[in-house]
Structure 1
C-alpha cells in the first residue's frame, strides 16, 4: 500500500551538507494516508451511517429477510426431499440420486417433456403474434379505442377457474356449445377432450386466450415509447409502412420481446390451472406437463421424493434455457 510522506526541504542547507530529513510527525502522516487505508474505510462507513443514507436499507431489511425465509426455506427443504424416499406421511431415508435416475428413466417424464415443449412453444408464438397484432391495432387512432383496450384485458382479468371451467362447459361433450354449432351446419360432433390431438389443441388454444392480454399490454406500452421521429425519418427516405415496421418497429421491440417470451415460457411450463381444470392431464396423459406430473407423484402416488425431483429437473431445464437465451441476447 502506497503512503504519502510529508517532506520539508530546508532552504538554508549549506552546499555539501546533509540531505533534508523527512518529518516523522504521527498526526501529519495519519492525515495524509490514502483512501485505500483501513482507517479511511472505517471513516467512510461511519460517515455513511451518520449521513442517513443507511436508513432505506434498514427499512428494507425486515422485508428482505422475510422474503428470503419464505423462499429459501421451502426451496432447501424440497431439495432435501428430492434426495430421500419420503412420503406425505413420514420422512424417509437418503437415497441420493435414485429419484432423479428414476424420473429420467420414466416414460411419463418424457411424455410430459414433449407436451411441455409443445405447449410452451405454441403458447409463446401464439401469444406474441396475437398480442403484437392487437397492440399495433390499439396503437392506431380508431374509434372506441379505450373500450377495446379494456375489453381485450378481460381474459387476463377473469379468474382462471371461472374462465377454464366456462371453456370446458363449451367443449366438454356432444351437447356442448361448439358441437351444437357444428351440428347446425351438418357436421358431426367432435369430442374435443376425449381425443389426444384435439385435447392438446384445446388446452393450447385456451392458454393463448388467457395469456395474450399480458403480451398485448406490454407490447403496446413498448410501441408508445418509440420515438416518432424514427418513423418520420423513414418516411422521408421513402420507406413503406411494412419497411418501417421491419426496420424501425421490430428492432425497437427486440429487448422487450425477449423478456416477454422468457416470462411466457416460464409461465407456460409451470401452468397447472389450464390442463388440470380441462383434462387433468388426459386423455392417456396426452396433456400432462411437468407440474401435473409432479402433482400426481406427490399427492396421488404419495411419493414426495420423486415429485420434488421432477420439480428440480424442471427448474434446471428452465435455468439452462433462460441463461442460454440471455447470453445470446447479450452477444447480439
Structure 2
C-alpha cells in the first residue's frame, strides 16, 4: 500500500473561504475606513491639484490644458528663484539652529539638577503657545523704533533697528522666531532618545579612559543618529511648508525677501488669481522635498 496520496485538485490554490473564515480579513476590514478617508481627503485633492497645474485656470474658471507652460513660466520667474533661495536659507538655518539648541538643552535636562521638572515644562511653552499669539507678540516687540526690543537697544546706548524693513534683518528675525517656536519639539524628542541610551556604554567608555567629549562623540551621537536624521527630516518638511511665521511677521516682505514657496503659491493662487501656477509651485516643492527625503533615508541606512 503506497503512503503517497493523490493531490487534491485545489492543492496549492488560495482558498478564499478558508482565509475569510479564519479571521484573516479582519485587519483589512478595520483598515478599510481609514484607507477610504485618506483616499478622499488626500488623494482626490492631490490629483485635482496636479490637474490644475497643467491648466491656465483661475479660482472662477476651470481653464484649458496648457501642458508644462506653467512650470516653464515658473522656472523663468525671478520670484520663484527668490523663493527658492529663501526657502533653502530658512530650512537650513532653522534645522541647524533647532538641532544645536535642542540637543544642548536635552543634554542639560538629562542631567540631575534642581527644578528639572519645572524647566522641562517651561521650555515647552514656545511650542505650546498658539502660533498666531506667539508670532504677533514677537511682531509687536520688533515692529518699529518704539517697539520693546528697540527701546532696550536705545537704553543701552544703541540706535533703533528697523527689523522688518531691512531685507537681512527681516530674514534674521523670521529665522530666529521660527527657531524659538520649533526647538522644544527637537529638545523633547532628543531627550527621549538620550534617556534610551544604555548607561553601561558610558561606563565602558569611562573604563577605557574616554573623556566626556569622547563619550559624546563616540557613544551619544552614534546612539541618537537615526533619531536625529528623522527629526531633521521632519523639521525640514515643516519649515519649507511653514506659512504662519513669514506671513504673520512680514507677509513675504520687504521686497519679497522672506517669501518662501508656500507664500509664493498663496500669492499666485489668491492674489494673482493664477491657480495653475500656484498648483505648479506646490508640486515643484513636493518634488524637491521628495528628493531630499530619499537622500536622507538612504543616509540613514548607511552603517
TM-score when normalising by structure 1:
0.89
Alignment partner for residue 143 of structure 1, among 108, 111, 114?
A: 114
Q: Once structures 1 and 2 are overlaid, which stretch shifts more, 47-56 or 289-298? A: 47-56
**Which residue, out of 75, 95, 118, partners 1:104?**
75
Query: 1:265 matched to which residue of 2?
Result: 236
Residue 41 (str. 1) matches residue 13 (str. 2): yes
Gaps of 5+ in 2: none
Deviations 1:188-226 (A, max 9, x none): 100000000000000000000000000000000000000
Residue 239 of structure 1 aligns to a residue whose secondary structure is coil
Cα deviation for residue 42 of structure 1 reads 2.3
Q: Residues of 2 paired with 1:199 and 1:63: CA distance? A: 43
Alignment partner, residue 53 of structure 2 = 82
Task: Give the whole-Å Cα distance in 1 for the aligned partners of 2:228 and 2:164.
Answer: 33
User: Superposed, which structure 2 residues align to 1:168-247 within 5 Å?
Assistant: 168-247=139-218
**Could you tell me how far 1:88 is from its partner in structure 2?**
0.4
The alpha-carbon deviation at position 322 of structure 1 amounts to 1.1
Deviation (angstroms), 1:251? 0.3
Alignment-derived partner of residue 303 in structure 1:
274
CA distance in 2, matches of 1:224, 1:280: 41
Within 2, Cα distance between the matches of 1:102 and 1:296?
15
* Aligned partner of residue 92 in structure 1, secondary structure: coil
Give the length in aligned residue pairs.
Answer: 303
- Root-mean-square deviation (CA, aligned residues, Å) is 1.5
Q: Give 1:297 shift.
A: 0.2
The answer on 1:321 being equivalent to 2:298 is no
Deviations 1:136-179 (A, max 9, x none): 00001111111111111110111100000000000000010000
Structure 1 residue 310: Cα displacement: 0.5
For residue 47 of structure 1, report the CA deviation from its aligned partner.
3.1
The residue number in structure 1 matching 2:132 is 161
Deviations 1:122-141 (A, max 9, x none): 00000000000000000011
CA distance in 2, matches of 1:66, 1:29: 48
SS in structure 2 opposite 1:281? coil
d(CA) in 1 for partners of 2:212, 2:40: 52
Q: What residue in structure 1 maps to residue 88 of structure 2?
A: 117
Q: CA separation in 1, counterparts of 2:301 and 2:54?
A: 36
Report deviation, 1:238: 1.1
Instruction: Please give the TM-score of this superposition, normalised by the length of structure 2.
Output: 0.97
Listed one character per residue, the Cα deviations across residues 87-133 of structure 1 (whole Å, up to 9, x for unaligned) are 00111000000000000000000000000000000000000000000
Q: Find the structure with the greater CA-based Rg.
A: 1
SS at match of 1:112: helix
RCO higher in structure (CA 8 A, sep ≥6): 2
SS of 1:41 mapped into structure 2: coil
Structure 1 unaligned blocks of 5 or more: 1-6, 10-22
